[in-house]
Amino acid sequence: MSFNTFGHLFRVTTWGESHGPAIGCTVDGCPPGIPLTEADLQPWLDKRKPGTSKFTTQRKEPDEVRILSGVFEGVTTGTPIQLMIENTDQRSKDYGDIATAFRPGHADITYHQKYGVRDYRGGGRSSARETAARVAAGGVARAVLARLMPGVQISGYMVQMGTQGIDRSRFDAGQIGENPFWCPDPVAATEWATYLDDLRLSHNSVGAVIEVVATGVPAGLGAPLYGKLDSDLAAAMMSINAVKAVEIGDGMASAALTGVENADEIRMGADGPEFLSNHAGGILGGISTGQPVVCRFAVKPTSSILTPRQTINQRGEEIDLITKGRHDPCVGIRAVPVGEAMMACVILDHLLRDRGQTGGVRGVIGGQ
């Protein structure tokens, strides 16, 4: 990953600012002959779209994606796919007073220090709006995976909001799309609605933990040592705005385990090796095991809040700042489809890299 490009064979370069004319991305290295239209991408963008409930920003953006290149007569041609999303709701006046102030928790001050200049309108390049481009690219990755590896399923959901975690015993995948939090625990979802509403009304915000799981990923993806599947997932998730931690499998909790507990024992199943547990999160030595790939990441609370915070401005004056505007009380909600998109891109990139190096041939175990 370097600058605004990620991926090695399936490469995504994003561009655009929150309040410029448009944002978008170039998807390069896409396999040819994959059916693709805007209609394949739009549902993923709609999932991330602002303004779908009172728990996300009220900014109104249709987030309509256009394919400008790389697709001909309904299929990918193997050439770069340009995806563009026009910005339509650019109420720049909402942000006028932050032109010279540095909002705490935001990248205002670091962009200013690094570049000496910044687009202050809505955070400019550092806005979460950039993640729409990732979701569009993820849609392309999903379309390719559907052809090359149809068994792969990618699902993201929220497992913790603020101090409130889900109860894993109530986990119901069918519930994920039934509440505004992508929460698989219906009881938690109900509680979170009140919890978040209270925070919102008290001019506050809160963090979250998102889990993204990919099932159906075959053994053998990942390119050790510095292109490990988990290493690339860590970079991908950490690159999402507001993410402060990434876990694979048991993650931080694995520190508290003993070797006896942590060993994912292996038995021989009808279709090959079977693991009796998945502390590893589906990755050993940077290479997928065939078990579900499990990745979690923590999203910090939205920094834009209506409670005044102490800060400075460009002239070095100390001020108290309220960040007006239309903000998500829990930006983690909209990070769910973004995390899914990054998972899709990383897995596809590794699928292509693996078949480049090994031809996709797998080592035999038993009479496989």
Nearest Cα to Cα of residue 349 among 236, 248, 262: 236
Considering only residues 165-184, where is the footprint of a copy of itself by CB under 8 A? none
Count of other CB atoms within 10 angstroms of residue 158: 28
Considering only residues 14-53, where is the footprint of a copy of itself by CB under 8 A? 14-17, 20-24, 26, 28-33
Nearer to a copy of itself, 127 or 179 (CB): 127
CB of 172 to a copy of itself, least distance (A): 22
Using CB under 8 A as the binding rule, whether residue 298 contacts a copy of itself is answered as yes
Q: Which of 64, 300, 322, 325 binds a copy of itself (CB under 8 A)?
A: 300
Considering only residues 200-239, where is the footprint of a copy of itself by CB under 8 A? 204-209, 219-228, 230-239
Report the C-alpha gap between 32 and 71 in whole angstroms. 9
Cβ atoms of 186 and 173 within 8 Å: the answer is no
Cβ atoms of 16 and 10 within 8 Å: the answer is no
Residue 50 has φ and ψ, to the nearest 5°, of -70, 160
Region of 21 please: left (phi>0), alpha (psi -120 to 50) or beta: alpha
CB of 317 to a copy of itself, least distance (A): 7
| Choices 53-61, 149-157, 177-185, 276-284 (CB under 8 A): range interacting with a copy of itself | 276-284
Asked if the peptide bond before residue 225 counts as cis, ω within 30 degrees of 0, the response is yes
| Cα distances (Å, whole numbers) of residue 113 to 20, 109, 314 | 22, 6, 10
Nearer to a copy of itself, 9 or 146 (CB): 9
Considering only residues 50-79, where is the footprint of a copy of itself by CB under 8 A? 66, 68-70, 72-73, 75-79
Considering only residues 122-161, where is the footprint of a copy of itself by CB under 8 A? 124-126, 130, 148, 160-161
Considering only residues 306-345, where is the footprint of a copy of itself by CB under 8 A? 307, 309-312, 314-318, 332
What value, to the nearest 5°, has the Cα angle with vertex 311 and ends 309 and 313? 140
Considering only residues 342-361, where is the footprint of a copy of itself by CB under 8 A? 352-361
Nearer to a copy of itself, 42 or 313 (CB): 313
Nearer to a copy of itself, 68 or 173 (CB): 68
Q: Which of 199, 212, 343, 347 binds a copy of itself (CB under 8 A)?
A: 199
Count of other CB atoms within 10 angstroms of residue 240: 21
CB of 148 to a copy of itself, least distance (A): 8
CB of 45 to a copy of itself, least distance (A): 18
By the 10 Å C-beta count (0-12 exposed, 13-18 middle, 19+ buried), 313 is classed as middle
Nearer to a copy of itself, 191 or 264 (CB): 264
Residue 176 has φ and ψ, to the nearest 5°, of -55, -45
Q: What is the distance, to the nearest Å, from the Cα of residue 70 to the centroid of all Cα atoms in its chain?
A: 24
CB of 84 to a copy of itself, least distance (A): 8
Nearer to a copy of itself, 174 or 265 (CB): 265
Q: What is the CA radius of gyration of the chain?
A: 21
Q: Which of 38, 64, 97, 112 binds a copy of itself (CB under 8 A)?
A: 112
Residue 241 has φ and ψ, to the nearest 5°, of -50, 135
Q: Which of 37, 113, 178, 197 binds a copy of itself (CB under 8 A)?
A: 113
